[in-house]
Amino acid sequence: MKIMVIQGPNLNMLGVREKDIYGPMRLEQIHAQMKEFATQNNVEIEFFQSNLEGEIVDKIQECFGEVDGIIINPAAYTHTSIAIRDAISAVSIPTIEVHISNIHRREEFRKENMIAPVCASSVVGFGPFGYHLAMMGMLQIMNEVRAVKEAQKQAATN
């Protein structure tokens, strides 16, 4: 099983920017914890970060046929990007959206979410721990998908 983690704009500045909202943890530290969890669960994991919407769309499209699940923090593009939404929808890969802060308790413009409706789930407001919750959720989704495929195989041979 393989998971792609896609990080949107300004997440490369975690640990530096607005620590009162996003905390002191750097993106590299979050990724190290995710990698450790993935290794413990025999899951391959890859990380990608971009400040550019088109690069994020390209990465989502590259996942088609290559990964079993996507964990994405589209950051500010959450509120504006129909292109990222359409890319997630197009590839039909189970996707979990993560936000470090609780976007529902912030500025009014952050309450509009273009991405959540095409995701399996969203994790918001748990800080960096939200990525761990997303990993656990993705493992559950991937196990359920595998069980359905095995049941379909079994039914086809009977």
Q: In the beta sheet, which residues pair with residue 122?
A: 97
pLDDT digits (tens), the chain, 158 positions: 999 999 999 999 999 988 888 889 999 999 999 999 999 999 999 999 999 999 999 999 999 999 999 999 999 999 999 999 999 999 999 999 999 988 888 777 777 899 999 999 999 999 999 999 999 999 999 999 889 989 998 898 87
Give me the domain span that covers residue 71.
Answer: 2-157
Which residue numbers are catalytic?
Answer: 22, 99
In this structure, which long-range contacts are made by residues 155-158, counting pairs with CB atoms below 8 Å and at least 24 apart in sequence? none
CATH number of the domain residue 16 falls in: 3.40.50.9100
How many domains, in total, are found in the chain?
Answer: 1
For 129, the token pair is 């721990």
pTM: 0.92
